[in-house]
Amino acid sequence: MAYNEKAQKWKKKKSQKTIKEMPNLDHPAPGCLTTVMHRVTSFPDVSAMSWKSDQAVVADIFYFLNIYSHGKLPSHCEQRFLPCEIGCVKYSLQDGIMADFHHFIDPEVPPRGFRYHCQTASDATHKIPISGFHLQRTCYPVVLRELLEFAQPDGGGWPRFFCRSDDRFRITWCLERMATVAGIESHLELLTVEDLVIKLYQKKYQKEPSKTWVCRELDAVLWDFSSNTRCKWHEENGILCCALASCKKIAYCISKSLAGVYGVSLTAAHLPLQDCDSSGNRSISWVILDAGRFQKMKAESSGYDRYAASPSQDQEHVPSSCDSSCDMKTSFYGTSTMRGRGVTRLLESTSDLYKSFNN
């Protein structure tokens, strides 16, 4: 009982001492500066953005930014993210993608016990190794300085960056972490692309599209394998997740959705060039799914081998445009002709079975 009373008095004194020593978050002490900078409580929005005319919208410049990390660490860790790649594009509706910025970042050492967690997360996405990477990495101060030089507007001031809403916390945290480690005061303003698209539609039609529709448009995978979209390393290794590619695909989606709305003609800077062969023609792979038509053509020919050896016989059935009919799918990678042989064999066996029943 005596020790129990002492413990209760000790807990009471400790709680009173903690309340007295709690820092004022409105005026943090220098020692608490790092902790306060990493506590992201609110974000700016695009409600303050306005344009006087459609021409002002078309000429306005936007910066799309993304930062990849070696996984996400638990909230009790001081290092929530380990920045490893940064990508940014300078874009306008009038000129499309005007310039791009990309660096592999020299990451910090993972907290003890989390190295496998970080490498596994990387292997599942961008596949950038934590150590032993043969490409040159850039340290935090150089990354921030070059990013600000890349995005510094002509009239001065701090540029506005845009990113996907799901990536906003990670990118904001990484920017603040890099600024803190580098000893640079950062005033970067990070807005969401979804709100920007809604704002641009509202400016033109005085009506807002649903956020679900906007997110679905931005999630398009149409340009995942397009040329000049990913960085050179991700392109050579066939890896889809790339910080630079994610920024360029945002620009492609906005161009596809809004260029026609504001009367802008699409160019190679708005949408990626299609993959071409050595002669400059698009390389198309046809996959014929109409088994009935193939059966008829096969019956007219002397055999499958003869038909496969002369694919030109099917030219009259192949449309010339990319918007193929419902019985055909196209791919812009390689030139090959594939037939529905499994469906053909099924139809042949069904026909033989039907004949046997009639006999």
DSSP 8-state secondary structure symbol assigned to residue 201:
H
Instruction: Please state the pTM of the whole predicted model.
Output: 0.65
The helix/strand/coil state of 82 is strand
Q: Read off φ and ψ for residue 142, nearest 5 degrees.
A: -70, -40
d(CA 248, CA 229): 6
d(CA 123, CA 78): 23
Contact 49, 206 (CB under 8 A): no
pLDDT, one tens digit for every residue, the chain (359 residues): 888 888 888 887 766 655 444 444 343 333 333 333 333 434 456 666 778 888 999 999 999 999 999 999 988 888 899 999 999 999 999 999 999 999 999 988 998 889 999 999 999 999 999 988 999 999 999 999 999 889 876 655 667 899 999 999 999 999 999 999 888 877 778 999 999 999 999 888 888 888 899 999 899 888 998 888 999 999 999 999 999 999 999 999 999 999 988 999 999 999 986 644 434 444 433 434 444 554 555 555 545 444 444 333 443 333 333 343 333 333 333 334 444 455 555 556 655 555 554 55
User: Smallest Cα–Cα separation from 96: which of 209, 237, 262, 307?
Assistant: 262
Q: What is the pLDDT of residues 46-105, one digit of tens each?
A: 666 778 888 999 999 999 999 999 999 988 888 899 999 999 999 999 999 999 999 999
Specify the amino acid at residue 249. Answer: K
